[in-house]
Chains A and B, each alone.
Chain A
């Protein structure tokens, strides 16, 4: 069996085990356990979908919460009027279209300009919703009364995470994923190789936004009360960024490695130092960028690369047969 198909199989087995484990989890843990599980799943999806675009392309987005909030608000506004499945589809669809428009106008910006713009965009959307709610809708907040239990939230998030891994895996091994990596390395080269870089960037950016909105929609019933400062809290964007960077954004499984320790850390920080939370968030961010710039998955990759170069004869891969024939 080749290395590729072996790791694919391993991935599939782990995915299946994870899905079964998470689906059975509500039977074993209490309310606190469920709420932690929801936190893990929520950030796992957000960080993985963030990395699906930002990892290979190198476009660091701080707009995560914009799409998350769009999802939450779709539920707040339409949750009681439409069937649940339709609400979720609509949330994902709206985020996809917003990301498409935003992407077309901003993905020309590179480096720090894109970072700042994406952050500004999230703030802009928050302010617009704020303005609309207070002047047009009559009150800043909304109540979400939906008959959705914590268990159901866990199950839905598990399903979305599984779907995200399948989609991410398909993209990674497709020409779209390859082109995105080329873009991250050198846009000029990508262009001169025939890649329609705008199309590729906007497509994957929008797809990742759709997943972020799904998370926002699914967890919205947990809050009961929702206002723009909750749904569009910029801390979420930073937390997602930190988790993805710690785990390693250039691998599909990378962000997961960052989500697990960071959810625990943030839980501890926010309950013990609520007023210092933003500062501690910033310090964590700096520490990670300084110490593990390519994340845990990046460390693993560089060991693998070094090993391959030192022992080129032991390569196990698609070309093994051809080589042994030489």
Chain B
């Protein structure tokens, strides 16, 4: 993977919380069209890394480039407009707005904002895509957990992102929902969206990810094809005692 073709290029990024280095000199590249799994035991800094890329947090050091331009430290709204969308580990929908409006929230302010009748029909289409057409007028706060997750994905896709960040989007789904959800993500990838996904669901990682970056204590300990990276001794050691996978 050379830097010139990388869509996202993270270089020597560090973020501290007090004396804790939650992300410690981390570097990795994501190529256009790739799905990369960001893995690691709990507390290893995955969410912090996602927050740094999406602008929710500012790095203390290092650069983050999206298609060549430095986005490190920009506010989230500017980063969203440059084409990065995300979901949240603790799912966030707009509670007092109905599902249509929740999706329109993603349509109205991105790189190519749409509004009015066009946005209405696009929002309908996106709800359909995530299997929520029948919930269009239900308020965000009245949705089940699974539906909130679906809605969050629809809102992120509404931004027409070049890079989609999914923070444990599959967590908490039952086996049949999981199959469906993985299929949905595969479809999204087929449409040319590049993804970074933080996941503990190993089946999903094996079947979806082209590559994995594995973190421990804020640093990268392995990188490569999922099966190979997960088999590296340091990874096995980091996960030992962790119930993420046998």
Contact = CB atoms under 8 A, between A and B. Distances in A.
Contact of A195 (B88, B93, B109, B111): B109
Provide the main secondary structure of the chain A interface: helix
Contacts of A191: 55-56, 75-77, 80
Most buried by B among A179, A184, A188, A189: A189
B5 interface: no
A120 to B, nearest CB: 28
Contact of B106 (A193, A250, A319): A193
A194 interface: yes
> How big is the B interface, by class?
35 or more
B113 interface: yes
A197 B77 CA distance: 8
Interface stretch (B26-34, B38-46, B94-102, B205-213): B94-102
Nearest to B94: A185
A308 interface: yes
20 contacts: A178-B108, A179-B108, A179-B109, A185-B95, A188-B76, A191-B56, A192-B56, A192-B85, A192-B86, A193-B77, A193-B105, A194-B77, A194-B81, A194-B109, A194-B159, A196-B77, A197-B77, A250-B96, A309-B138, A319-B124
A190 B105 contact: yes
A182 B124 CA distance: 19
B115 interface: yes
Contacts of B109: 175, 179, 193-195
A315 interface: yes
Contacts, number: 84
Contact of B113 (A175, A189, A190, A312): A175
Interface of A: 175, 178-179, 181-182, 184-186, 188-197, 250, 305, 308-309, 312, 315, 318-319
Contact of B92 (A175, A189, A196, A309): A189
A186 B94 contact: yes
B20 interface: no
B96 A192 contact: no
Contact of B56 (A181, A188, A193, A309): A188
A192 B108 contact: no
B147 interface: no
B226 interface: no
Interface string B57-88: 00000000000000000011100110001101
Nearest to A189: B92
Contacts of A175: 108-109, 113, 115
Nearest to A181: B97
B137 interface: yes
Contacts of A195: 77, 109
Given A197-B77, A315-B137, 10 more contacts: A179-B108, A185-B94, A186-B95, A189-B105, A191-B56, A192-B56, A192-B77, A193-B106, A193-B109, A319-B120
